[in-house]
Amino acid sequence: MKQEIAFIQSEELKVKPKADSLGFGKYYSDYMFVMDYHSEKGWYEPRITPYEQLILDPAAMVFHYGQAIFEGLKAYKTADGTIQLFRPEKNMKRFNESCDRLCIPQIDENFLLKAIKELILIEKDWIPEGDGTSLYIRPFIFATEPYLGVRPSHQYKLLVILSPVGAYYGDQLSPVKIYVEEQYVRAVIGGVGHVKTAGNYAASMKAQEVAEAKGFAQILWLDAKENKYVEEVGSMNIFFKIKGEVVTPKLNGSILSGVTRDSVIQLLKHWNIPVREEKISIEEVFAAHERGDLEEVFGSGTAAVISPVGELNWNDRSIEINHQKIGQLSQRVYDEITGIQLGKKEDPFNWIIKVAQV
């Protein structure tokens, strides 16, 4: 795409929230990126505009037939003021994979990344600098055509909004209690679980609510066919360290291919720690614990980076992992990835894309 990105100046800027009150996804910056699609024109009118309300027809297809996809990545500010992104090209690629599965027209990945960089440069003062904070970037696309027949929409809107965020699970890397879900399922092979579409998250809320009422922070999903094999957690992939070896469920078509997951695997290989992607049953996990071999369990995702699991509850059986303390490897992986993201550690994999020096 060779188009120029128009810029519409805001008349008034917001007061920025304090770094210690950020939470996740509550505040939005002053500007957003917008681009529209019409089947006769392709993607058109890319523009950076003030963050503003959208105007939509009540028959807009997103409300009825749910064509909606999104991505999530972060911009970080290093100690010397460099703004950097972590593997954003992976998010652009996955965005297009989501487009493909949901019959949404493809986007130009390079162009969108360029637009995101421009937006971030304008909004550079919105990148918070406290520990564990960052500027969350949310690109999303949804169907806008007013039409009630079931078929792919002919019109879409793509937006990128920015939200300054604190650490997802609060300040501390503290182990969470996880409930292994047996009744509800998140996704099945042949469905849409491997892409980031809105409906996946709506479908997951019921189980999450039930688990929270029982005192658990998150759900561990099992496969939908046999209710047997571990898939992933809420919005994280999952890793088990068993007798010095690390195992994570193999991507099978119903698991989201996390950018953090891929980074963890690469890091472990780099460190010569054995890591395998394979089918792993929840029974095996519990058996490993019984044998005293289950050393660590942790989730991986953009929001929390690494989230240690302190307890797993399956079928009324509860197991405690590493005495509810953060495992050594979980901590090492967390320190390494956040270190690279914040420019405190070397980046041997060229994961970092610098946006600008401010």
Ligand X SMILES: Cc1ncc(COP(=O)(O)O)c(C=O)c1O
Interface ranges with ligand X (CB under 6 A)? 72, 232, 235-237, 256, 258-261, 300-302
Residue 206 binds: one of ligand X, a second copy, none (C-beta under 5 to 8 A by kind): a second copy
276 close to 304: Cβ distance less than 8 angstroms = no
Residue 261 binds: one of a second copy, ligand X, none (C-beta under 5 to 8 A by kind): ligand X
Nearer to ligand X, 72 or 128 (CB): 72
User: Contacting a second copy (CB under 8 A), which of 107, 116, 180, 185?
Assistant: 185
User: Contacting a second copy (CB under 8 A), which of 22, 48, 68, 337?
Assistant: 68
88 close to 160: Cβ distance less than 8 angstroms = no
Nearer to ligand X, 198 or 210 (CB): 198
321 close to 250: Cβ distance less than 8 angstroms = no
Nearer to a second copy, 60 or 265 (CB): 60
Q: What span, in angstroms and rounded, lies between the C-alpha atoms of 285 and 231?
A: 13
User: Contacting a second copy (CB under 8 A), which of 37, 126, 136, 314?
Assistant: 136
Nearer to a second copy, 70 or 286 (CB): 70
Nearer to a second copy, 139 or 327 (CB): 139
Span 199-238, contacts to a second copy by CB under 8 A: 199-206, 208-209, 224-225, 227, 234-235
Contacts of the segment 330-333: beta carbons below 8 A, 24+ positions apart: 330/173, 330/296, 330/298, 330/306, 331/173, 333/264, 333/267, 333/268, 333/298, 333/300, 333/306
Report, in Å, the least distance between residue 148 CB and a second copy.
Answer: 3
Residue 286 binds: one of a second copy, ligand X, none (C-beta under 5 to 8 A by kind): none
* C-alpha pair distances (Å), 273 with each of 4, 265, 327: 47, 9, 15
Contact partners, residue 150, CB within 8 Å, separation at least 6: 65
